[in-house]
Structure 1
Amino acid sequence: MPTTPTLISVLLLFLAASAVHAEFSVQTPEFTQCALAQFSWDQTKGPYNVIIANQTDPADLGDHDSTSLSWNVTIPSGWNVMISVEDAEGKEAWSRPITVKPSNNTSCLH
């Protein structure tokens, strides 16, 4: 019986280490009003659904097979947003909060 706790401990450590390596994350870029922004995320199983969660109406950027995206920031300066990426297996990753920076360009705002 003395080996049972050791075996269980090793299995728990293995599972914990596997969970750390399975982490799915999104790079947090800078966003500037009406400017092109590029961001990426860890590769898991695509396609990936990308959403920009904002204060009023989330921007669904659709499904993508690659692990990076260029997007014209159509959100006013000063707003706080986050990027949400969901893979084909339902795993979801979020960026840190992003405050949209100002610019003189307002052509993309509705």
Structure 2
Amino acid sequence: MVFYDAAWKLGVPSEQRAEFLIGYGSTLKNVGRLDESLLILGQAITDGAFPNAARAFLALTLQASGRSPEAIAELLSLLLEVGAQDAGLIRYRRSLSWYAGQLRASAEPGPEK
């Protein structure tokens, strides 16, 4: 972990950034630095060469953070995007999208009472 932290502080070459962010984000999750993991994996999604892989690792961090509904919703959304040509996913896209939306909505904080 020390080497990841040091490399991040020094700056990672652009040609290695995508893989570095995924590895760093995953390792942060593994050592319990969940908020940092979410931030790093979010960066990997937006500016990385492997956004789908980063989303899968993000789902793992969400689950480790006790945010299982969000994790499942992320994985369902990812599945629907990468499996866009799969006949079964095409057939059930509307239902699975609805479930992903419901899971995300259930994870949002509600009005305080």
Q: TM-score, normalised by structure 1?
A: 0.25
Select the structure of larger CA radius of gyration: 1
User: Structure 1 or 2: larger strand share?
Assistant: 1
Q: TM-score, normalised by structure 2?
A: 0.24
Structure with more contact order per residue of length (Cα contacts < 8 Å, sep ≥ 6): 1
